[in-house]
Amino acid sequence: MKVRAVLFDLDGTIYEDGVELPGASRAVAALRARGLQVGFVTNTTSRSRRHLTERLNGMGIATGPEGITTALRAGAEYLAARGHRRVAALVPPLAHEDLGEFELTAERPEAVVVGDLDDRWNFEILNTAFRQVMAGAELVALSVDRYWQHGDGLVLDSGPFVKALEYASGRSATVCGKPSAGFYRMALGTLGPWAIEDPGSVLMVGDDVWGDVRGAQEAGLKACLVRTGKYRDEVFKSCGVTPDEMIDAIAELDDLF
C-alpha cells in the first residue's frame, strides 16, 4: 500500500479498557521505521489530550498532545468559531481541561455539548439537556457513535442520547467528531499541509465501520478496518461499507506495506 501517513483510532484499535492490544506499539514503531508519519484520532471524550498522551507514552508509543486529534478538541474549535462562551458540557471531569476556555455551566448555556458519560447517564441529565436545547442552546454532538467495546460486551455510546435529544427537541445536532469531514480535515492538518491537499495518501485504521471507515473514505482517505474492539461480523456484513483493507489485529498492519 502506497501511503505517506497512517492515522490510528485509539479505543478498540490501539488499546481496549486502557490495556494495549497485542502488537500495537510494535506496529506503530514499524511504520515509523518505514518513514511513515503517524497520528492518532479518537471520539473518546472521557479524557483530555494530556491524559491520552500519558496513556500512549506509557505503552511505549511516543506522541504529544499535538499528535492526537480528539472530538473534544474539534468541538472546542467549533464552539469558539461560533462565539459561544457558556457551555453545558456532558463529559466527565477528566475531559474538562480541554474546554478550559469556556464557562462550564448549567445556567442558560449557549450550547449543550454531548459526549461520553457512560453509566453516568440518567433521566435528569438527559431531560435537563432537552430543556436547555428547547430554551435556545445549540445542540453540539462530539460524536454520534452507536456503541463501544467495554469489558465483556458492548456499551451504548453517546449517539443514542444525541438522537433522543434531536427527536424530542426537533433540532439537529452539529457533529464535531468522526465521521464529520471537518474532523478529518483537522486530523490531516496535524500531519502537514500536504495531507490536506492529498488525503488519499493517508490511511485511517480503526474498528468502527461508520466513523473510521466510511467517514474517512468520504473525506478522501484510504481506510483499513481492524477486527478488534467494537467490530462485529454480523454488523459488517449488513452495513454496506467496503474498506480498502481489512486485518484481524493491529499487529498485522505492517504486512500491508
List strands edge to edge, sheet with 174-175.
103-104, 86-90, 111-114, 138-141, 174-175
Domain boundary among 121, 147, 175: 175
**12 and 87 share a domain?**
no
How far is it, in rounded angstroms, from Cα 61 to Cα 234? Answer: 32
Instruction: Give the count of domains, the chain.
Output: 2
**185 and 249 share a domain?**
yes
In a domain, 53, yes or no: no
Domain boundary among 175, 210, 228: 175
Range of the domain at 104: 77-175
From first to last of its 257 residues, the chain has per-residue pLDDT tens of 789 999 999 999 999 999 999 999 999 999 999 999 999 999 999 999 999 999 999 999 999 999 999 999 999 999 999 999 999 999 999 999 999 999 999 999 999 999 989 889 999 999 999 999 999 999 999 999 999 988 789 999 999 999 999 999 999 999 999 999 999 999 999 999 999 999 999 999 999 999 999 999 999 999 999 999 999 999 999 999 999 999 999 999 999 98
**114 and 165 share a domain?**
yes
pLDDT for res 119: 87
Q: Which helix (H) or strand (E) holds 8?
A: strand 5-9
How far is it, in rounded angstroms, from Cα 162 to Cα 151? Answer: 24
Domain boundary among 175, 191, 222: 175
Q: Which sign does the torsion angle of CA 227, 228, 234, 240 carry? A: negative
CATH number of the domain at 22, please: 3.40.50.1000
pTM, rounded to two decimals:
0.94
**113 and 143 share a domain?**
yes
**167 and 203 share a domain?**
no
Q: Which helix (H) or strand (E) holds 129?
A: helix 123-134
**102 and 129 share a domain?**
yes
